[in-house]
Amino acid sequence: MSNKRIVSGMRPTGKLHLGHFHGVLSNWLELQKSYECFFFAADWHSLTTEYANTDGIKDSINEMVLDWLAFGIDPEQSVIFEQSKVPQHAELNLILGMITPVSWLERNPTYKEMQENLSTKDLSTFGFLGYPVLMASDIIVYKSAKVPVGQDQVPHLEITREIARRFNYLYGEVFPEPQALLTETPKVLGLDGRKMSKSYNNAIFLSDDAETTRKKVLSMVTDTQRVYKKDPGEPDRCVAFALHSLYVPQEKRDEIVVGCRSAELGCVDCKKILAQCMIDTLAPFRAKREELASKPGVVDEVLTEGSRKAEVVAKETMNEVRAALKV
């Protein structure tokens, strides 16, 4: 088992937006240079909340993985696979479910929070309560040494560590306790100032064309206290300016700050600069995505081969698990 193995997954929700790139994908790109990486489309996890509406999951996987590949997640460097195509995830989930106390799941901070946020859905299911067990299975079936998480996700990883610890206590040492690989995740604001999210309808998608991107940026909230162009503005109050640090060169940003605070630069002109910088930055990715999308079956080929590679590793682990269980 490599002590530099990383496992990370993403629920398929379709095309990815800027928040996904800066929060997850950019980190994956760096990790695959130094670690043995397993990146998966977590389609079974989608069923914990979308069990009544599964029609779009397959298309969502295709759109999501196209974004991965276009941005440089490389199947030659990383194992890219589909969770449901590796049945050992489900087998280990069943076994770990036998030993995981219900109280551990009920105290999971996300459990009640998601029930409140998704109040229109019936989440009083065994699968939703037990999704941390499936998450643990996803990680430890590959004996992952580290898991990339933000600070707010560390408590979730602790459940995985507790489950691995309990298995080892009952049956002997099989699983390493995965460590958190803390990652900086910039908060990317959407068009309306809230966190960028598809569900809020405030997202700029990585695959949006140039004109769509421009229109979205020009619609963004700016400094709400700057009523007229002649009024001095404050970039720190401006939602749109939050994206400047990601796309506009520092020298140009310095000019914008001066122009905003002196009222020499209007909000519309400022957003035009941001839109063009964003379009220029994303152009190579968008061209690569169009090229990949023109090749039928390219995502299926990547996922089929990646799932085959992942299953080889997962089978080895499950052989050890069965030996430990003496079954």
Give the confidence band of 3 by pLDDT, cuts at 50, 70, 90: low
**How many angstroms separate the CA atoms of 152 and 2, rounded?**
26
The gap from C-alpha 269 to its chain's centroid, in whole angstroms, comes to 32
**How many angstroms separate the CA atoms of 220 and 188, rounded?**
13
Lookup: tokens for 6:
């990383």
The model's pLDDT over 57-67, given as tens digits with 9 standing for 90+, comes to: 999 999 999 99
Question: Does position 294 have pLDDT exceeding 90, yes or no?
Answer: yes
Question: Mean of the pLDDT values across residues 271-299?
Answer: 96
The model's pLDDT over 149-203, given as tens digits with 9 standing for 90+, comes to: 887 788 889 999 999 999 999 999 999 999 999 877 777 999 999 989 888 899 9
Output the pLDDT for position 117: 66
In DSSP notation, 112-174 reads HHHHHHTTTS---SHHHHTHHHHHHHHHHTTT-SEEEE-GGGHHHHHHHHHHHHHHHHHH-S-
Closest CA to 168 of 324, 12, 297, 18: 324
C-beta separation of 132 from 105 below 8 A = yes
Share of the chain above pLDDT 70, in %: 98
Question: Mean of the pLDDT values across residues 73-93?
Answer: 98
C-beta separation of 314 from 141 below 8 A = yes
Closest CA to 49 of 118, 102, 97, 105: 118
**How many angstroms separate the CA atoms of 36 and 2, rounded?**
8
The model's pLDDT over 196-225, given as tens digits with 9 standing for 90+, comes to: 988 889 999 999 999 999 999 999 989 888
Q: Count CB neighbours of 135 within 10 A.
A: 22
Average pLDDT value for the chain: 93
The answer to whether 5-188+296-325 and 198-290 have equal CATH topology is no
Output the pLDDT for position 1: 44
Helices 298-325 & 154-171 angle (0-180, nearest 10): 40
Give the confidence band of 301 by pLDDT, cuts at 50, 70, 90: very high
Report whether CATH 3.40.50.620 matches the domain 5-188+296-325: yes
pTM value? 0.92
Amino acid identity for residue 81 in this structure: F
Lookup: tokens for 39:
């990146």
C-beta separation of 163 from 156 below 8 A = no
Output the pLDDT for position 107: 85
286-298: b or e for each residue (b if 16 or more CB lie within 10 Å)?
A: beebeebbeeeeb
Per-domain boundaries in the chain:
5-188+296-325, 198-290
The model's pLDDT over 283-293, given as tens digits with 9 standing for 90+, comes to: 999 999 999 99
Question: Does position 271 have pLDDT exceeding 90, yes or no?
Answer: yes
The model's pLDDT over 98-129, given as tens digits with 9 standing for 90+, comes to: 999 999 998 887 777 776 667 777 888 999 99
Question: Does position 2 have pLDDT exceeding 90, yes or no?
Answer: no
What distance, in Å, lies between the first and last C-alpha atoms of the chain? 23
**Ramachandran quadrant class, 264 (left: phi over 0; alpha: psi -120 to 50; beta: rest):** alpha
**How many angstroms separate the CA atoms of 212 and 88, rounded?**
42
Output the pLDDT for position 119: 72
C-beta separation of 196 from 251 below 8 A = no
Output the pLDDT for position 149: 86
Fold classification of 198-290 (topology level): Tyrosyl-Transfer RNA Synthetase (1.10.240)
